[in-house]
Amino acid sequence: MKISLIGAGNVGGLTAMRLAQDNLDEIVLIDIAKGLACGKALDLEDARAALNLDYKIKGTEDFTNIKGSGIIIVTAGLARKPGMTREELLKKNAEITKCICLEIKRLAPEAIVLVVTNPLDLITYLALKNLQFNPKKVFGVGANLDASRFANLIAQELKVSPTEIEACVIGPHGEGMLPLARFTKVKNEPLTKLINSQKIQELAQKTIERGAEVVSLLGSGSAYFAPSAAITEVVSSIVKDKKRTIAVCAYLNGEYGLKDICVGVPCEIGKNGIERIIELDLNSEEKALFLKTASNLKNNLTAL
């Protein structure tokens, strides 16, 4: 399967590397910045002998190279700067996304499209409306990144391996995300049985603030190691038809009592994209918080 990455910045370039090392077929890296995608592709080619791998990768400035892609990953857009919220990125990145969607619709109408550009939930909705593809084939990657961050912080607190943790985070990829302790398990034990509610709240808040913390420390640009890993997790589940349960930004049309909105929820991911949206049995408090954060998204969609 041909996989195209639109945007060869830190996230796009590192995702290309992870996909190549996972031997995920033919990879095309595209960026309008002259020489950027080509240079990174050549560099990745030169790594093949040292890695003992024979992957195919191409770098280009020409959008027509997305033709025939099975998966298209959109990372193009401005990155957050210190003190900037994801929502402040909306206007510029919305313009960029509209232009990209026109090319995807024209050249690769059968592709599964993964959106990574921030603000994720709003840009995913915008991409879906512009593409007019099946909603199961257009979704955002971000909620599984939030879950990975939550798992990491829990692992540090409990001094266990993050591989022993199944973390659950739903809601927008941003300040409105909801880390759910009740659905998070450590060695198959609910987190609520292992840590008191105050500490859980502290870990949840740290998870919410983690992206901004990384941005402030880097000083220029945003995270890319963990985001690229989150993208690769989703792509691998599609290409290898793993049907794994992964939280992604999905279009809801009645699920969770919400309609015409894109937001992070657990989904079964396979060769067709979103195979199934999984509805968690939220309690009244969790549901109220989820509906509140969804309402805030709806208000932003009106502005969009």
* Contact criterion met (CB below 8 Å) for 16 and 73: no
Cα–Cα distance, 3 to 68 (Å, whole number): 9
26's tokens: 């033919």
172 φ, ψ to 5°? -65, 150
| Active-site option among 2, 173, 185, 210 | 173
Q: Is 173 annotated in the active site?
A: yes
Chain Cα centroid distance, residue 249:
7
CA angle centred on 58, ends 56 and 60, rounded to 5°: 170
51's tokens: 């890695």
Q: Which residues pair with 166 in a beta bridge?
A: 185
Cα–Cα distance, 210 to 51 (Å, whole number): 32
Q: What is the CA radius of gyration of the chain?
A: 19
Measure the CA dihedral 182/146/208/285, to 10°.
Answer: -30
- Catalytic positions, written as ranges: 173
